[in-house]
A and B are shown apart, each in its own frame.
Chain A
Amino acid sequence: MKNNTVGEVFTGVDGLGNYIQSLPEPDWMRETRMAALKRFNEVQWPDTAVEEWRRSDISSYDFNAYNMRGAKQSAVADPADPPKDAELAGSIRFEGPDAVATSLDSELAAQGVVFEPLSEFVLQNSANHSGSITKATKAVRDLIMDSINKADNKLKLWHYAGWTHGVVLYVPRFIEIKKSFVLDFLEDGDAVLSAPQIFVVLEEGARVEVIQRVHGADEGEVLLNESVDIHIGDGAACRYVALHNLNIDSSSFGTTLARIARDGHLHHGIAAFGSMFTKYRVDAELNGPGSDVLLDGIYYPAEDQHVDLRTVQTHFAPKCASHALYRGAIRDEAHGVYQGLIYVGEEGSETDAYLTNNNLLLNDGAQADSIPCLQIHTNDVKCSHGSTTGKLNRSEVFYLASRGFSPEEAEEILLQGFYEPIVARLPGAVQEEIRELIAERFVPVQTL
């Protein structure tokens, strides 16, 4: 196996061209990077004149200050290793851009499921491979080009030009996988750009559940710029939950774009806890009739954290349903922003779509902006949005106190309860972890 130039480091923006040339990738991938780079060079960084970025000012970032390097190929464990955890369909663990452990259930591998680190997948494409790999390669390339064509900001184009590592999960027709895939990213280092790229491709009738966990080392500033591309074929179903918890010096940018074909299902969840600055966008395109989407979001910013989450429910086909529910409790001087768009194209008759955003302001300095938006270009639709911003309900605290709960415990129970309708419908494997993260961040209101 060829190794790329391990140890060679490139600066985030100016070194992009050299970085691309240094990678031992086949032409089809390099071409996508160059296509992204071309558009990257043509557009400006998003500024606050653009509505989507109006509340998230990135003008103080010096994106040249972050270094990147590609993944080591040699560090990858033998994929033939049986999964360490029999409860999982497969798992990949990254430390920085390097995949340090990877596993895939051998039965699934035999059925043509592809699950491997992206850089390895891209390299293998030049060798002999099975039918699944060919299909997966084509799907990956199509997804990249689609995302580049649709990219409306420079950060996303930067990502496609310079992604550093990632994962491919390809599930052939009618393979239904009950166990979860787990993707662990441990981001490490200082002034480091990490740009992971994840592909989930489900052929017709396939079913899969993916848990992505992004954790950071305690110290060191990481700039995360991730992208997740999902293709859900006819009647296929995907559950994808991302848990982001980088350290407080880091920043998280990212997008998820899911394309859902006829009768396909998507349940997407994001729990954004870490990072000083988060700007994340989840797009769901309902391209086939009868498809449906559920978008869940949890955020709990504290101190000076800024979390800006956006969902887009795009109805390009009739008889589709999409629901978004985002909830955030905000304390200290933190700022939570949620922007939700329901877009129904002319083809989107009999759409059933709504979005809900609930914010809890835990003290006076905390700030929440909730911006729901509907754009509807056809009749015969059911679309609505609702947003609330309030404080912790003192009557509820008193009620719990009358049952013996201390004010601190009452508030914690109410805060957990605020998130619980979302948490309880996420995959069991992440529920406890999210509840614990909420508990760790909890501070009683009296002390704020």
Chain B
Amino acid sequence: MEIKIEGLEAKIGDTPILRGVDLTMKSGEVHALMGPNGSGKSTLSNVVFGHPSYEVTGGRVLVDGEDILEMEPHERARLGLFLAFQYPVEISGVTVGRFLRRAVEIRFEGEKEVRTKGFLKDLREAMDFMEIDQQFINRYLNEGFSGGEKKRMEILQMLMLQPQFSILDETDSGLDIDALSVVARGVNKLRDQDFGALIITHYQRILDHIKPDYVHIMYQGRIVTSGGGELVTELEKSGYEWVREQYGREEEVHE
């Protein structure tokens, strides 16, 4: 799968957030998207998935050549895209088991028989791998979960749904080092030619566990520079201050 974002502009209310994002990613690649708070990283993930709060004002998002911006969110998901939420919502009254069984059915509709037959076995294995207690199968999705449990649940869903490309929106935020390594283990497990990921993060910490092939830095609604792992090292050393100095546009800075 190839995702090609071209000149993407979006606003929430009257406030422009994305001001022309260009980014090309493929299955088989792991990209990191870094940047200071408020630079538009999470907006990018929401806009790619069609969150109704954002209005796209320009540009295209092509998935294997097809513009997905006119598609409904669920249609985008069914292409094989996955979004691990920064703040997963609680779905009361819907158990993890029931929710995932149906999600797997939808994802693998053509091969339903095969996939749903071994569903519970697969789920249990994936839960073991993510160090999630099996009792969570019968709990309501995310209801009463700790922050770390919610993030692990996102990755568990990703393992079960096997997307071709996944956007992880600040999955590392609020995680202690143990939880972080479990989350990273989940991502690394899927890592192969048929899986790509965009890891959105404020910190370099998660990138010690998931080595990105490409690193992009976002600032004021644009990707201002891209490179390899050396960018992470640079950020670690100097913080985001040099990004502001080098790429900040005075006229667009608003408080």
Q: Which residues of B84-130 are within 8 A (CB) of A?
A: 85, 88-89, 91-94, 99, 102-103, 106-107
B187 is an interface residue with CB less than 8 A from chain A: no
Is A421 touching B92 in the complex (CB atoms < 8 A)? yes
B58 is an interface residue with CB less than 8 A from chain A: no
Q: Looking at the complex, which of A95-103, A349-357, A412-420 is the stretch in contact with chain B?
A: A412-420
Known A401-B77, A402-B77, A403-B77; judge A417-B93 contact (CB<8 A): yes
How far in angstroms is the closest Cβ of chain A from B110? 13
Residue of B nearest to A417 (CB): B93
Residue of A nearest to B51 (CB): A398
Number of interface residues of A (CB under 8 A): 24
Is A418 touching B93 in the complex (CB atoms < 8 A)? yes
Question: Which one of A395, A417, A424 has the highest number of Cβ atoms from chain B below 10 Å of its Cβ?
Answer: A417
Hey, which chain B residues are within 8 Å of A407, CB to CB? 72, 74
Is A396 touching B89 in the complex (CB atoms < 8 A)? yes
Hey, which chain A residues are within 8 Å of B205, CB to CB? none
Is A413 touching B73 in the complex (CB atoms < 8 A)? no
Is B91 touching A402 in the complex (CB atoms < 8 A)? no
Interface string of A402-435 (1 = CB under 8 A from B): 1111110010011011111100100000000000
Is B93 touching A395 in the complex (CB atoms < 8 A)? no
Cβ contact of B73, chosen from A393, A402, A414, A419, cutoff 8 A: A402
B157 is an interface residue with CB less than 8 A from chain A: yes
Is A403 touching B89 in the complex (CB atoms < 8 A)? no
- A421–B143 Cα distance when bound, in Å, is 12
Hey, which chain A residues are within 8 Å of B161, CB to CB? 403-404
Is B89 touching A402 in the complex (CB atoms < 8 A)? no
B155 is an interface residue with CB less than 8 A from chain A: no
Is A416 touching B93 in the complex (CB atoms < 8 A)? yes
How far in angstroms is the closest Cβ of chain A from B160? 10
Cβ contact of B93, chosen from A401, A405, A419, cutoff 8 A: A419
Residue of B nearest to A418 (CB): B93
Cβ contact of A395, chosen from B72, B83, B89, B103, cutoff 8 A: B89
Is A399 touching B102 in the complex (CB atoms < 8 A)? no
How far in angstroms is the closest Cβ of chain B from A7? 49
Is B72 touching A400 in the complex (CB atoms < 8 A)? no
B203 is an interface residue with CB less than 8 A from chain A: no
Hey, which chain B residues are within 8 Å of A400, CB to CB? 74, 91
Is B103 touching A404 in the complex (CB atoms < 8 A)? yes
Is A398 touching B103 in the complex (CB atoms < 8 A)? no
Is A404 touching B72 in the complex (CB atoms < 8 A)? no
B49 is an interface residue with CB less than 8 A from chain A: yes
How far in angstroms is the closest Cβ of chain A from B185? 22
Task: List residues of chain A with CB under 8 Å of any chain B CB.
Answer: 393-396, 398-407, 410, 413-414, 416-421, 424
Can you pick out 25 interface pairs between chain A and chain B where the beta carbons lie within 8 Å of each other?
A396-B89, A398-B49, A399-B85, A399-B88, A399-B89, A401-B49, A401-B50, A401-B73, A401-B77, A402-B73, A402-B83, A403-B77, A403-B103, A403-B157, A404-B74, A404-B77, A404-B78, A407-B72, A407-B74, A413-B94, A414-B94, A417-B94, A417-B140, A420-B94, A420-B140
- Besides A400-B91, A413-B91, A421-B140, 20 more A-B contacts (Cβ < 8 Å) are A398-B52, A398-B73, A400-B74, A401-B49, A402-B74, A402-B82, A402-B83, A402-B85, A403-B77, A403-B99, A403-B103, A403-B106, A404-B78, A405-B103, A413-B94, A417-B92, A417-B94, A420-B94, A421-B92, A421-B93
Task: List residues of chain B with CB under 8 Å of any chain A CB.
Answer: 49-52, 72-74, 77-78, 82-83, 85, 88-89, 91-94, 99, 102-103, 106-107, 140, 157, 161
